């Protein structure tokens, strides 16, 4: 028997789940297919476990800092297995919540991977499903390079569930995933190295902040191998033998790839319905998330606009509203705040200095670097670095970059001001809360 729906969502990540729930609340008959676990990459193999592990990795420094405030701990012990097991319990709880949210909304859930038969029907296992509209929200998967030991090299998908912590790890790649995992492993006591083909980590982020973060990562013991990359990686006697292009070699207990992600589309059979793809295999959509097949839509990481969970959720809301309203709305991707959960944390909203110079005739830059009060009694050298970018023609703040503890929490609050066009003068009128690090944002002078 063929099942029929008004909207069928392929992918049970944050964007897909939100679209399904909202569509069902508007009276549509909705189905959703997920081949792995509900919650997608973010809940199961991304944002949530990464932040939990990031918290864990910071405690080693917190314990050291405690002594400067008069506290002492006689024995310091860490259990990787306990962290992994507690993480699994939390992920299972969140996945069950997603299941309940969908079921209570009236969404019919299918376990399995969907494959298009034509533009109006898919197959999940032996089940045939028809729908007026389809939404593809399958996200991305880690890229894998070709080395002799490739089968034993891990990605972010496997890194959260290692059987044991390695003593020494090499992380390939310099994007935010590589940087975040470097901070995690380093904080948990692992001898950690990052290897990148180019000069700097975090391509596309603000240069000043990247330089500050790089220096602080090195001070914490993370090695950054730049302008080089492995030619071959083999494994012998439980050790990875890494041979670099510059003819040097080094041995590691574990190698992790974090060299980007690719659209997770292999199982969909998109060539059958002639969905147009970009050069990087992401699905091409118009301003209303329509693919080249007018009844098939796509949102989230698979369309390669801004690959962030809150963006996918916002895209889902606009898409479903557009399906039910005559007047369609476009999603605005400017001023999306983002964070790198490195150590220290880095968050920003708005433009980098490079972007601002390209977009505006004249800009002003305000920076501040200082040792926060929390570290003043200790020997820690870590500093907060703040950068404000202002459009000189109208005094609007067009970029805020914050490197330091709780950066994401601080920038989230200030994002409201920047999204709504507040000026530097408005920032200056605001009284800071003293003593805090964030007060520096409203007291910055040239």
CATH of the domain at 91: 3.50.50.60
- For residue 385, give the nearest of 440, 338, 443, 446 by alpha carbon: 440
- CA–CA gap between residue 87 and residue 45 (Å, rounded): 11
pLDDT class of 326 with cuts at 50, 70, 90: confident
Residues 202-238: tens digit of each pLDDT: 999 999 999 999 999 999 999 999 999 999 999 999 9
- CA–CA gap between residue 379 and residue 181 (Å, rounded): 25
Q: How many C-beta neighbours within 10 Å does residue 373 have?
A: 11
Average pLDDT over the chain, rounded to an integer: 96
Are 95 and 109 in the same domain?
A: yes
Residue after which a domain boundary falls, among 209, 238, 259 = 259
Angle between helices 14-25 and 80-105 (to 10 degrees): 20
Show the tokens assigned to 167. Answer: 């003593």
Residues 259-281: tens digit of each pLDDT: 999 999 999 999 999 999 999 99
CATH of the domain at 421: 3.30.390.30
- 366 domain-assigned: yes
Catalytic-role residue among 58, 401, 406, 434: 434
Are 269 and 183 in the same domain?
A: no
Residue after which a domain boundary falls, among 259, 283, 306 = 259
- 185 domain-assigned: yes
C-alpha 219 chain-centroid distance: 25
Query: Residue 73's pLDDT is what?
Result: 86
Show the tokens assigned to 425. Answer: 């003068």
Show the tokens assigned to 102. Answer: 């969908």
Active site residue 434: yes
Query: Residue 62's pLDDT is what?
Result: 94
Residue labelled with tokens 């290897």:
195
pLDDT class of 2 with cuts at 50, 70, 90: confident
Query: Which residues constitute the domain of residue 269?
Result: 3-142+262-324
Residues 345-404: tens digit of each pLDDT: 999 999 999 999 999 999 999 999 999 999 999 999 999 999 999 999 999 999 999 999
Residues 8-20: tens digit of each pLDDT: 999 999 999 999 9
| Cβ atoms of 137 and 11 closer than 8 Å | yes
- CA–CA gap between residue 27 and residue 324 (Å, rounded): 10
Strands 346-350 and 168-172, sheet pairing: unpaired
Are 180 and 294 in the same domain?
A: no
Does 23 have pLDDT greater than 70? Answer: yes
- 339 domain-assigned: no
Query: Residue 74's pLDDT is what?
Result: 84
| Cβ atoms of 296 and 136 closer than 8 Å | yes
Residue after which a domain boundary falls, among 209, 233, 259 = 259
What's the whole-number mean pLDDT along residues 284-289? 97
Show the tokens assigned to 337. Answer: 């705040």
Are 250 and 271 in the same domain?
A: no
Residues 137-152: tens digit of each pLDDT: 999 999 999 999 999 9
- 329 domain-assigned: no
Are 253 and 271 in the same domain?
A: no
Are 313 and 390 in the same domain?
A: no
3-state helix/strand/coil string of the chain: CCEEEEEEEECCEHHHHHHHHHHHHCCCCEEEEECCCCEHHHHHHCHHHHHHHHHHHHHHHHHHHHHHHCCCCCCCCCCHHHHHHHHHHHHHHHHHHHHHHHHHHCCEEEECCEEEEECCEEEECCEEEEEEEEEECCCEEECCCCCCCHHHCECHHHHCCCCCCCCEEEEECCCHHHHHHHHHHHHCCCEEEEECCCCCCCCCCCHHHHHHHHHHHHHCCCEEECCCCEEEEEEECCEEEEEECCCCEEEECEEEECCCEEECCHHHCHHHCCCCECCCCCECCCCCCECCCCCEEECHHHHCCCCCHHHHHHHHHHHHHHHHCCCCCCCCCCCCCEEECCCCCEEEEECCHHHHHHHCCCEEEEEEEECCHHHCCCCCCCCEEEEEEEECCCCEEEEEEEECCCHHHHHHHHHHHHHCCCEHHHHHHCCCCCCCCHHHHHCCCC
Q: Tell me which long-range contacts 269-275 makes (C-beta under 8 A, separation of at least 24).
A: 269/115, 269/116, 269/117, 270/116, 272/116, 272/117, 272/118, 273/116, 273/118, 273/119
Q: How many domains does the chain have?
A: 3
Does 1 have pLDDT greater than 80? Answer: no
Are 255 and 266 in the same domain?
A: no
Are 244 and 270 in the same domain?
A: no
Query: Residue 263's pLDDT is what?
Result: 97
Does 196 have pLDDT greater than 70? Answer: yes
Are 20 and 66 in the same domain?
A: yes
- 335 domain-assigned: no
Does 45 have pLDDT greater than 80? Answer: yes
Looking at the DSSP bridge assignments, the partners of residue 111 are: 34
Query: Residue 325's pLDDT is what?
Result: 87
Are 229 and 95 in the same domain?
A: no
Q: Burial level of 326, CB count in 10 A (0-12/13-18/19+)? A: exposed
Query: Residue 247's pLDDT is what?
Result: 78
| Cβ atoms of 306 and 289 closer than 8 Å | no
Are 383 and 248 in the same domain?
A: no
- 338 domain-assigned: no
Give the sign of the dihedral formed by CA 233, CA 236, CA 241, CA 247: negative
Are 308 and 405 in the same domain?
A: no
Percentage of residues in the chain having pLDDT higher than 70: 100
- 431 domain-assigned: yes
- 336 domain-assigned: no
């Amino acid at each position: 028997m063929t099942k029929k729906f008004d909207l069928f969502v392929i992918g049970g990540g944050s964007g897909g789940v939100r679209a399904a729930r909202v569509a069902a609340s508007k009276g549509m008959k909705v189905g959703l297919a997920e081949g792995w676990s509900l919650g997608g990459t973010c809940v199961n193999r991304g944002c949530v476990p990464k932040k939990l592990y990031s918290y864990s990795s910071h405690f080693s420094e917190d314990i050291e800092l405690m002594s400067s405030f008069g506290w002492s701990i006689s024995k310091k012990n860490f259990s990787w297995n306990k962290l992994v097991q507690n993480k699994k319990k939390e992920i299972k709880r969140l996945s069950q919540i997603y299941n309940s949210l969908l079921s209570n909304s009236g969404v019919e859930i299918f376990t399995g991977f969907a494959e298009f038969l034509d533009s109006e029907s898919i197959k999940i296992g032996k089940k045939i499903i028809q729908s007026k509209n389809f939404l593809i929200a399958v996200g991305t998967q880690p890229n894998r390079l070709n080395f002799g030991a490739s089968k034993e090299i891990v990605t972010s998908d496997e890194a959260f569930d290692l059987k044991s912590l390695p003593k020494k790890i090499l992380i390939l790649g310099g994007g935010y995933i590589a940087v975040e995992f470097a901070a995690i492993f380093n904080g948990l006591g692992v001898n950690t190295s990052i290897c990148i083909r180019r000069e700097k980590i975090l391509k596309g982020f603000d240069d000043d902040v990247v330089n500050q973060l790089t220096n602080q990562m090195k001070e914490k013991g993370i090695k950054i191998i730049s302008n080089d990359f492995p030619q071959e990686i083999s494994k012998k006697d439980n050790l990875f033998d890494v041979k670099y292009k510059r003819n040097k070699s080094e041995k590691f207990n574990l190698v992790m790839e974090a060299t980007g992600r690719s659209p997770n589309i292999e199982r969909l059979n998109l060539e059958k319905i002639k969905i147009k793809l970009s050069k990087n295999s992401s699905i091409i959509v118009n301003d209303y998330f329509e693919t080249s097949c007018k009844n098939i839509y796509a949102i989230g990481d698979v369309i390669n606009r801004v690959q962030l969970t809150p963006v996918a959720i916002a895209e889902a809301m606009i898409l479903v509203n557009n399906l039910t309203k005559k007047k369609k709305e476009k999603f605005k991707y400017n001023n999306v705040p983002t964070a790198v959960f490195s150590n220290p944390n880095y968050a920003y909203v708005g433009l980098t200095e490079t972007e601002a110079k390209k977009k505006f005739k004249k800009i002003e830059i305000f920076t501040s670097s200082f040792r926060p009060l929390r570290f003043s009694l200790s020997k820690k050298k870590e500093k907060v670095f703040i950068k404000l970018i202002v459009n000189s023609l109208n005094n609007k703040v067009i970029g805020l970059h914050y490197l330091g503890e709780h950066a994401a929490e601080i920038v989230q609050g200030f994002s409201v001001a920047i999204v709504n066009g507040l000026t530097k003068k408005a920032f200056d009128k605001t009284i800071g809360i003293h003593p805090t690090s964030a007060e520096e944002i409203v007291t910055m002078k040239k």
